[in-house]
A and B are shown apart, each in its own frame.
Chain A
Amino acid sequence: MRFYEAVRLALSMIRVQKLKSFFTLLGVMIGVMFLIAVVSIVEGMGHYMQDDLMGKLIPINTFNLRQTPNVTLGGVDRATWQEWQRRPRIKEEDIAPVLAALSPGTRAAVVSQDNLMVESRYVPKPKQVDASNVTAPWFDIKKMGVTEGRVFTAQEDALGAPVVVIGTDVASYFFPSVDPIGRELKVGHIPYTVIGIAESQGSVFGISLDKFIVAPYNSPLKRLTNRHGVIDGIMIQSSDETTMLANEDAVRSVMRTRRKLLPQQKDNFVLETSDQDLEFWNKIKGYLVVAGIALPAIGLVVGAIVIMNIMLVAVAERTAEIGVRKALGARRQDILAQFLVESATLSTLGSAIGVVCGIGISAIIASVSPLPTHVALWSIVVSVMLGAGVGIAAGVYPASRAALLDPITALRAE
Chain B
Amino acid sequence: MNNEIEEAPLSTTAERRAVTQVAGVAPGQEWAIVARGLKREYDMGGEIVRALRGVDIAVRRNEYVAIMGPSGSGKSTLMNLIGCLDTPDAGEYWLNGTLVSDMSDDQLAHVRNKEIGFVFQTFNLLPRSTALQNVELPLVYAGVGSEERRARAKEALERVELGERMDHRPNELSGGQRQRVAIARALVNRPAILLADEPTGNLDSRTSEDIMRVFSGLSDHGQTVIMVTHEPDIAAHARRVIVLRDGVVETDERKETFHERLTAFGSSVVG
CB-based contact B83/A327 at 8 Å: yes
Chain A residues within 8 Å of B106, by CB: 331-333
A334 interface residue (CB < 8 Å to B) = yes
A407 interface residue (CB < 8 Å to B) = yes
Number of A-B contacts (CB under 8 A): 63
Instruction: Encode B61-103 as 1/0 by CB contact (under 8 A) with A.
Output: 0000000000000000000100101100000000000000000
CA distance A231 to B50 in the complex (A): 104
CA distance A1 to B141 in the complex (A): 6
Residue from A5, A12, A321, A411 within 8 A of B140 (CB atoms): A5
A75 interface residue (CB < 8 Å to B) = no
Closest to B79 in A: A408
CB-based contact A329/B141 at 8 Å: yes
Closest to B77 in A: A408
A320 interface residue (CB < 8 Å to B) = yes
Instruction: Encode A331-355 as 1/0 by CB contact (under 8 A) with B.
Output: 1111000000000000000000000
Known contacts A327-B112, A329-B109; A1 and B140 CB within 8 A of each other: yes
CA distance A345 to B142 in the complex (A): 24
Closest to B107 in A: A331
Instruction: Encode A1-29 as 1/0 by CB contact (under 8 A) with B.
Output: 11001000000110010000000000000
Instruction: Encode A104-132 as 1/0 by CB contact (under 8 A) with B.
Output: 00000000000000000000000000000
CA distance A379 to B177 in the complex (A): 52
Closest to B112 in A: A329
CB-based contact B124/A330 at 8 Å: no
CA distance A329 to B108 in the complex (A): 8
> How far, in Å, is B146 (CB) from chain A's closest CB?
8
CB-based contact A325/B137 at 8 Å: yes
A414 interface residue (CB < 8 Å to B) = yes
Residue from B80, B114, B141 within 8 A of A334 (CB atoms): B141
CB-based contact B112/A332 at 8 Å: no
Closest to B105 in A: A332
Chain B residues within 8 Å of A330, by CB: 109, 141
Residue from B83, B128, B137 within 8 A of A16 (CB atoms): B128
A324 interface residue (CB < 8 Å to B) = yes
A326 interface residue (CB < 8 Å to B) = yes
CB-based contact A328/B128 at 8 Å: no
B178 interface residue (CB < 8 Å to A) = no
CA distance A333 to B199 in the complex (A): 30
CA distance A275 to B114 in the complex (A): 68
Q: Which of B124-147 contact A (CB under 8 A)?
A: 124-126, 128, 137-138, 140-143
> How far, in Å, is A134 (CB) from chain B's closest CB?
74
> How far, in Å, is A102 (CB) from chain B's closest CB?
72
CA distance A331 to B143 in the complex (A): 12
A323 interface residue (CB < 8 Å to B) = yes
CA distance A275 to B45 in the complex (A): 74
Known contacts A328-B118, A408-B80; A321 and B126 CB within 8 A of each other: yes
Chain B residues within 8 Å of A326, by CB: 85, 109, 112
CB-based contact B85/A408 at 8 Å: yes
B215 interface residue (CB < 8 Å to A) = no
CB-based contact A407/B85 at 8 Å: yes
Q: Which bucket holds chain B's interface residue count?
A: 20 to 34
Chain B residues within 8 Å of A5, by CB: 140
Residue from B124, B137, B141 within 8 A of A411 (CB atoms): B124
Residue from B86, B122, B185 within 8 A of A328 (CB atoms): B185
CA distance A213 to B59 in the complex (A): 106
CA distance A333 to B86 in the complex (A): 18
B110 interface residue (CB < 8 Å to A) = yes
Give the residue among A5, A328, A334 with the most B Cβ atoms within 10 A. Answer: A328
B223 interface residue (CB < 8 Å to A) = no
CB-based contact B120/A328 at 8 Å: no
> How far, in Å, is A337 (CB) from chain B's closest CB?
11
Chain B residues within 8 Å of A321, by CB: 126
Chain A residues within 8 Å of B224, by CB: none
CA distance A351 to B70 in the complex (A): 56
CB-based contact B140/A331 at 8 Å: no
CB-based contact A323/B141 at 8 Å: no
Chain B residues within 8 Å of A333, by CB: 106
CA distance A2 to B142 in the complex (A): 10
B113 interface residue (CB < 8 Å to A) = yes
Residue from A13, A329, A414 within 8 A of B122 (CB atoms): A414
Q: Which of B202-224 contact A (CB under 8 A)?
A: none
Known contacts A323-B124, A414-B122; A329 and B142 CB within 8 A of each other: yes
CA distance A83 to B242 in the complex (A): 104
Residue from A320, A323, A334, A408 within 8 A of B86 (CB atoms): A408
CB-based contact B85/A329 at 8 Å: no
Known contacts A12-B128, A408-B80, A411-B120; A328 and B137 CB within 8 A of each other: yes
Give the residue among B80, B120, B125, B140 with the most A Cβ atoms within 10 A. Answer: B140
Known contacts A16-B128, A411-B120; A327 and B85 CB within 8 A of each other: yes
CB-based contact A331/B109 at 8 Å: yes
Chain A residues within 8 Å of B85, by CB: 326-327, 407-408, 411
Chain B residues within 8 Å of A327, by CB: 83, 85, 112, 118, 124
CB-based contact B105/A328 at 8 Å: no
CB-based contact A328/B112 at 8 Å: yes
Residue from A12, A329, A332, A407 within 8 A of B114 (CB atoms): A329
Chain B residues within 8 Å of A334, by CB: 109, 141
CA distance A332 to B106 in the complex (A): 7
A-B contact pairs, 27 of them (CB 8 A): A1-B140, A1-B141, A1-B143, A5-B140, A13-B128, A16-B128, A324-B125, A324-B137, A326-B112, A327-B85, A327-B112, A328-B113, A328-B118, A329-B141, A329-B142, A330-B141, A331-B105, A331-B106, A331-B109, A331-B141, A332-B105, A333-B106, A334-B141, A408-B80, A408-B85, A408-B86, A411-B85
Q: Which 4 A-B pairs have the closest CB atoms?
A: A329-B113, A329-B141, A331-B109, A328-B138
Not counting A326-B112, A329-B138, A411-B120, a sample of 18 additional A-B residue pairs whose C-beta atoms are within 8 angstroms of each other reads A1-B140, A1-B141, A2-B143, A321-B126, A324-B124, A328-B118, A328-B138, A328-B185, A329-B113, A330-B109, A331-B106, A333-B106, A334-B109, A334-B141, A408-B80, A408-B85, A408-B86, A411-B85
